[in-house]
């Protein structure tokens, strides 16, 4: 199986690539500043997205994992924070970048009747809303909405789309106080990706396969 994971230089993305390779998949990782074994991709840069699509032209893709994302507004305050440029950058990475990557790699996905996994978050909830982190919460809600609508449009082609909450993971983004190890989250997510079919397209699940309580 050929898998592509965006944002694979650290954290969950790196663990997903490692997990895929350990079981024998051909796993392609990307990063804005790629290290050895990773392809360059800045999901906020259309030219970079086009370059990746060109590099993979003609290669069927069984699974695309849209993992690259940013959490730029951690610690911002309502009184003085959340400037417009922060909103633009957050949505460029977490929403527009997801869409552009999927759009550019549709020929690869169609060639394999592949699957698409979008990493969103429980923080996308509009009912479990404790406040703060407005940019991140809104962008992840938009990513969930994007995934659900892509699932509807691609269902006729047999391309399944799943949206996933990875848990509160001990990564650079999640922080040391998180309660899930990276390896556990990645293993759970891979199991969810494996279970994704046209019958379950549009699902929103956590890393354990549970539907988040919204």
Please tell me the total count of domains within the chain. 1
The reported pLDDT for the residue numbered 173 is 60
pLDDT of residue 117: 98
3-state secondary structure at position 163: strand
Those residues with Cβ within 8 angstroms of residue 124's Cβ, 6 or more apart along the chain or in another chain: 137, 140, 141, 143, 144
Q: What distance in Å separates the CA atoms of residue 112 and residue 122, rounded to the nearest whole number?
A: 30
Q: Which residues are catalytic?
A: 136
Backbone dihedral angles phi then psi of residue 163, each to the nearest 5 degrees? -120, 135
- pTM summary value: 0.95
Say if 211 falls within a structural domain: no
**Nearest Cα to 189, choosing from 104, 125, 113, 120?**
120
pLDDT at residue 45, as a whole number: 98
Q: What CATH number is attached to the domain comprising 162?
A: 3.40.50.720
pLDDT for the residue 122: 85
Q: For residue 173, tell me if it sits in a domain.
A: yes
**In a domain? residue 15:** yes
User: What is d(CA 4, CA 8) in angstroms, rounded to the nearest whole number?
Assistant: 9
Per-residue pLDDT, 211: 83
What number is the average pLDDT over the span 205-209? 92
What span, in angstroms and rounded, lies between the C-alpha atoms of 30 and 155?
27
HSE on the CB side for 164, CA within 13 Å? Answer: 28
Contact criterion met (CB below 8 Å) for 143 and 125: no
Residue 36 predicted with pLDDT over 60:
yes
Helical spans, DSSP H, in 23-74? 46-55
Q: Domain for residue 212, yes or no?
A: no
Q: What is the pLDDT of residue 16?
A: 98
Q: Tell me what the mean pLDDT of segment 79-87 comes to.
A: 97
User: Is residue 214 situated within a structural domain?
Assistant: no
* Closest to 135 (Cα-Cα) out of 66, 74, 80, 79: 74
Which residue shows structure tokens 């633009």?
88
Q: How far is CA 194 from the centre of its chain?
A: 15
pLDDT band at 35 (very low <50, low <70, confident <90, very high): confident
**Residue 213 resides in a domain:** no
Question: For residue 154, is it within any domain?
Answer: yes
115-119: strand order across its sheet: 38-40, 26-31, 2-5, 63-66, 115-119, 160-165, 204-206
Share of the chain above pLDDT 70, in %: 94
pLDDT of residue 137: 95
Chain segment 148-190, per-residue pLDDT in tens: 999 999 999 999 999 999 987 766 665 666 577 889 899 999 9
pLDDT tens profile 56-82: 999 999 999 999 999 999 999 999 999
**Domain, as residue range, for 17:** 2-206
User: For the chain, how big is the Rg over CA atoms in Å?
Assistant: 16
Query: Across all residues in the chain, what is the average pLDDT?
Result: 93
In a domain, 100, yes or no: yes
């Amino acid at each position: 199986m050929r898998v592509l994971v965006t944002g694979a230089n650290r954290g969950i993305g790196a663990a997903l690539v490692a997990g895929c390779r350990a079981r024998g998949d051909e796993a392609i990782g990307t990063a804005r500043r790629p290290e050895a074994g990773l392809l360059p991709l800045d999901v906020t840069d259309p030219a970079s997205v086009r370059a990746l699509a060109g590099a993979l032209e003609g290669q069927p893709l069984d699974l695309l994992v849209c993992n690259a994302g940013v959490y730029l507004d951690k610690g911002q305050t309502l009184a003085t924070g959340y400037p417009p440029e922060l909103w633009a950058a957050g949505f460029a990475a977490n929403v527009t970048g997801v869409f552009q990557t999927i759009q550019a790699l549709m020929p690869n996905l169609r060639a394999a009747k592949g699957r698409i996994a979008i990493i969103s978050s429980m923080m996308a909830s509009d009912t479990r809303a404790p406040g703060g982190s407005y940019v991140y919460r809104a962008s992840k809600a938009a990513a969930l909405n994007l995934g659900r609508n892509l699932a509807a449009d691609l269902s006729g082609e047999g391309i399944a789309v799943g949206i996933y909450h990875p848990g509160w993971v001990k990564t650079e983004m999640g922080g040391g106080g998180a309660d899930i190890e990276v390896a556990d989250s990645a293993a759970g997510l891979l199991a969810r990706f494996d279970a994704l079919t046209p019958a379950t397209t549009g699902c929103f699940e956590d890393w354990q396969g549970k539907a988040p309580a919204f």
